[in-house]
Amino acid sequence: MSSEAMGMTPATALRDMAYEETTARSMWLITLQRLRRSKTAMVGLAIVVLLLLVAALASLIAPYSPTQTGPVSISPPTWDNLMGTDLLGRDVFSRVIHGSRVSVYVGVVSIIASLLIGIPLGTVAGFYGGRIDNLIMRLMDVMLAFPIFLLAIVLMVILEPSTMNVVLALAIVRIPILARIVRGSVLSVKENEYIEAVKALSLSQVRTLGRHVLPNCLAPIIVTSTLNIGNAIILEASLSFLGLGTQPPTPTWGWDLKQNLTLIEINPWITIFPGLAILVTVLAFNLLGDGLRDALDPRLKA
């Protein structure tokens, strides 16, 4: 199946590439338009934006310092303490607000870190194939032989529990699946004729990868990454709940929930509010991710 036989000449390949460039720019506009049509996705987006603002402006919004102990302990919600106080008299509302910083930080940074390593890994494996592909995928398979949460726990046992190490562990845990997805996309795109045409034009391989292979893999990556942020937040909360994550006194939703759990018969509210915070946050990212998935779905392109 030579390029000439398919009717491809350098001229037509160049023309196709130019067409791709112009349509690629409007792809983002179309996606945005379709996203706006989904009300649930917009709600998710709004909550995510709100969350980012809260995390960024936590010190300004929170009425008290999250680590400042107070005279009234284990109080139910009052006008002074909107979510009550914990065992040490700290304002739970302020702790929940400041807790968002850890969640957002861990969620976003761990996903970005996993992308920075996973995308190149998957691309190299898919594009070059052969022994490199084999080697990389074997390594990924061995990591995938562990349940994700178990692997995260193991990593936190090896690394001392801290927020940065949670980011590292959650990034590592994400890489195998991400590399697989990217490799799959690269493989399916590799077969396309216009890649053959580009190769026939002897463009450098990196340019080929960057300009033509990657943008087509972008859609599934964007969707899974958004959903993964919510997942990462749950994992961070779970690790903190077990004491393997962010250490006290830094406010984090997972550990706060655990701390206040022993007082649940006296005051269930201080356990419920951190949990609700996690729920609403993850829900928002899931709504947004679902909306993005529908907006980017090529099958729905009219």
Partner 1 sequence: MKEYIFRRLVLLVPTVLGVTIIVFLMMHFIPGDPVALLLGDYYTEATAAAIRAQYGLDKPLHIQYFLWLKRLFVGDWGNSIIANRPIFEDLMRRLPITFELIILSMAFALLIAIPAGVIAALRPYSWRDYGAMTTALIGVSVPEFFMGILLILFFSLLWGILPAVGYVPLTESLWGNLQHMILPAVTLGLARAALLTRLVRASMMEVIRLDYITTARAKGVREWAVVLKHALKNALIPTVTVLGLQVGFLIGGAIIVETVFSVPGVGSFGISAISLRDYPQVQAFVLLFALGFVLINLIVDVLYAFLDPRIKYDQQAA
Q: Tell which positions 157-216 bind partner 1, by CB under 8 A.
A: 157-158, 160
* Nearest distance from C-beta of residue 202 to partner 1, angstroms: 39
* Nearest distance from C-beta of residue 262 to partner 1, angstroms: 11
The yes or no reply on residue 148 touching partner 1 (CB under 8 A) is yes
* Nearest distance from C-beta of residue 296 to partner 1, angstroms: 16
Of 21 and 141, which CB lies nearer to partner 1 in the complex structure? 141
Q: Which stretch binds partner 1 (CB under 8 A): 99-107, 190-198, 212-220, 274-282?
A: 274-282
| 35, 241, 250, 288: which one binds partner 1 (CB under 8 A) | 241
The yes or no reply on residue 129 touching partner 1 (CB under 8 A) is no
Round to whole Å and give the CA distance between 77 and 88.
Answer: 15
* Nearest distance from C-beta of residue 143 to partner 1, angstroms: 8
Cα angle 232, 147, 116 (rounded to 5 degrees) comes to: 45
SS (H, E, C) 152-196: HHHHHHHCCCCHHHHHHHHHHHHHHHHHHHHHHHHHHHHCCHHHH
| CB 167 within 8 Å of CB 245 | no
Of 11 and 145, which CB lies nearer to partner 1 in the complex structure? 145
* Nearest distance from C-beta of residue 183 to partner 1, angstroms: 18
| 13, 106, 115, 282: which one binds partner 1 (CB under 8 A) | 282
| 15, 138, 199, 207: which one binds partner 1 (CB under 8 A) | 138
Query: Would you give the binding string for partner 1 spanning residues 86-125, x where CB under 8 A is met?
Result: ----------------------------------------
Round to whole Å and give the CA distance between 143 and 273.
Answer: 35
Rg (CA), the chain: 24
How does 80-96 read in b/e, with b if 16+ C-beta sit within 10 Å? ebebbbbeebbbbbbbb
The yes or no reply on residue 264 touching partner 1 (CB under 8 A) is yes
Q: Which stretch binds partner 1 (CB under 8 A): 60-68, 76-84, 180-188, 250-258?
A: 250-258
Do you know the residue count of the chain? 302
Work out the end-to-end distance of the chain between its first and last CA atoms, rounded to an integer number of angstroms: 31
Round to whole Å and give the CA distance between 103 and 108.
Answer: 8
Residue 59: partners with Cβ closer than 8 Å, 6 or more residues away? 98
CB atoms within 10 A of CB 273: 22
| DSSP state letter for 79 | S
Contact set with partner 1 (CB under 8 A): 138, 141-142, 145-150, 153-154, 157-158, 160, 230, 234, 237-238, 241-244, 254, 257-258, 261, 264-265, 268, 271-272, 275, 278-279, 282-283, 286-287, 290
